[in-house]
Amino acid sequence: MNRAVGRILLAFSAFCMLSTGAQAQTAYPDKPLKMLVSWPPGGVTDTIARFAADNLAKSFGQSVVVENRPGANGIVGTQAAAKLPPDGYGLMAVTAETHAINPSVYKNLTYDVLRDFDPVAMLARVSFVLAGKAGLESSTVQELITLAKSRPGRLSAASYGIGSTSHVGLASFEKSTATEFTHVPFQGVVPAVNALLAGQVDIAFVNAFNVEQHRKAGKVKILGAAGARRINTIPDVPTLSEQGVPGFEAGNWYGIVAPRGVPPAIRQRLEAELQKIATSQAFADRARAMGVEVEYRNAAQFGEFLRTEGRRWGEVVRDKKIELSQ
């Protein structure tokens, strides 16, 4: 009799534990979430993060607070995100800089982007264009390559800063075409584009959105699109691949990660909600307004993409000896 009672009590106890665990899992989220952004408010990354956060909040019935932690080309925010508890309540909006370029540019990072983060979903991507000042003697990519080879290091190229996506895009172009430009780093996209418009620099890899209107006004040239396909808003501009630089791509992308160790069920819930957001017409419209295209990848696909991008940009960074200390 006592043994029978003991077995019943043991079974009841196990049932309670399973029930409690299931209730805890289905209760997620039962408090506000936080999403870290490693860049200042108002930029593309911040805008995409806030759109995702607002829509997650609607689905979850919990607020999702966006917290900007800019500094050191995204390192400050990434360090903070790596230290968040892996409970699904702390997320990070990531870019090519934070999770593909910085690990090769900065040698003493306190985190490992592959070891310390779980990919959740990639949401969007932007392809740069190769833009030139209005008075540039070249109007096509091949003309520019010929001109650059005739004047090694004498043509200048603006970027958003050392180690930025526009800088490594330039470095990749130099590597792919055996050319050499004088790199002129600026603190962000606006001063880089302004220098191009003023004719202070010869070329720059930039978001098409930042120069399309200036092209129409004759203040800048767009020599080529640095993507796998032509850009919808400027379909008359051929890609660099079409102009003899095969497979060339440069730009940025935007995704969401979590600290490593988030329970699988919670990560799957986040992934499913982000898929709904990324595939919505509202998100497509918001992205297009910023010159960005939707490109959704699930957690597994995003994880493989991060590894591939890290290797790709790592080769360029090492080849061009791009290195900084924090």
Q: Is residue 312 part of a domain?
A: yes
Q: Is residue 232 part of a domain?
A: no
Domain co-membership, 112 together with 133: no
CATH number of the domain residue 282 falls in: 3.40.190.150
What's residue 234's pLDDT? 92
DSSP E strand stretches across the chain: 33-37, 64-68, 90-95, 117-133, 156-159, 182-185, 203-207, 220-225, 251-259, 293-297
The amino acid present at 140, given as its one-letter code, is T
Domain co-membership, 308 together with 168: no
Domain co-membership, 280 together with 138: no
**Length, in residues, of the chain:** 326
Q: Is residue 245 part of a domain?
A: no
Q: Is residue 325 part of a domain?
A: no
Domain co-membership, 270 together with 189: no
**Domain residue limits at 150:** 127-225
Domain co-membership, 218 together with 255: no
d(Cα 288, Cα 286) in Å, to the nearest integer? Answer: 6
d(Cα 147, Cα 79) in Å, to the nearest integer? Answer: 43
Q: Is residue 163 part of a domain?
A: yes
Over its length of 326 residues, how does the chain's per-residue pLDDT go in tens digits?
455 545 544 555 544 444 444 444 458 999 999 999 999 998 899 999 999 999 999 999 999 999 999 999 999 999 999 999 999 999 999 999 999 999 999 988 999 999 999 999 999 999 999 999 999 999 999 999 999 999 999 999 999 999 999 999 999 999 999 999 999 999 888 999 999 999 999 999 999 989 999 999 999 999 999 999 999 889 999 999 999 999 999 999 999 999 999 999 999 999 999 999 999 999 999 999 888 999 999 999 999 999 999 999 999 999 999 988 76
CATH number of the domain residue 160 falls in: 3.40.190.10
Domain co-membership, 210 together with 161: yes
Non-local (6+) Cβ contacts of 292 within 8 A are 44, 48, 124, 125, 126, 209, 254
Domain co-membership, 57 together with 198: no
Q: Tell me the two tokens of residue 326.
A: 């924090």
Peptide bond preceding 259: is omega within 30 degrees of 0, i.e. cis? no
DSSP E strand stretches across 170-292: 182-185, 203-207, 220-225, 251-259
Domain co-membership, 50 together with 186: no
Domain co-membership, 150 together with 99: no
Q: Is residue 147 part of a domain?
A: yes
Domain co-membership, 122 together with 256: yes
Domain co-membership, 107 together with 176: no
What's residue 291's pLDDT? 87
d(Cα 203, Cα 133) in Å, to the nearest integer? Answer: 6
Q: Is residue 244 part of a domain?
A: no
What's residue 19's pLDDT? 44
Count of the separate structural domains present in the chain: 2
Domain co-membership, 154 together with 211: yes
Q: Is residue 113 part of a domain?
A: yes
What's residue 18's pLDDT? 46
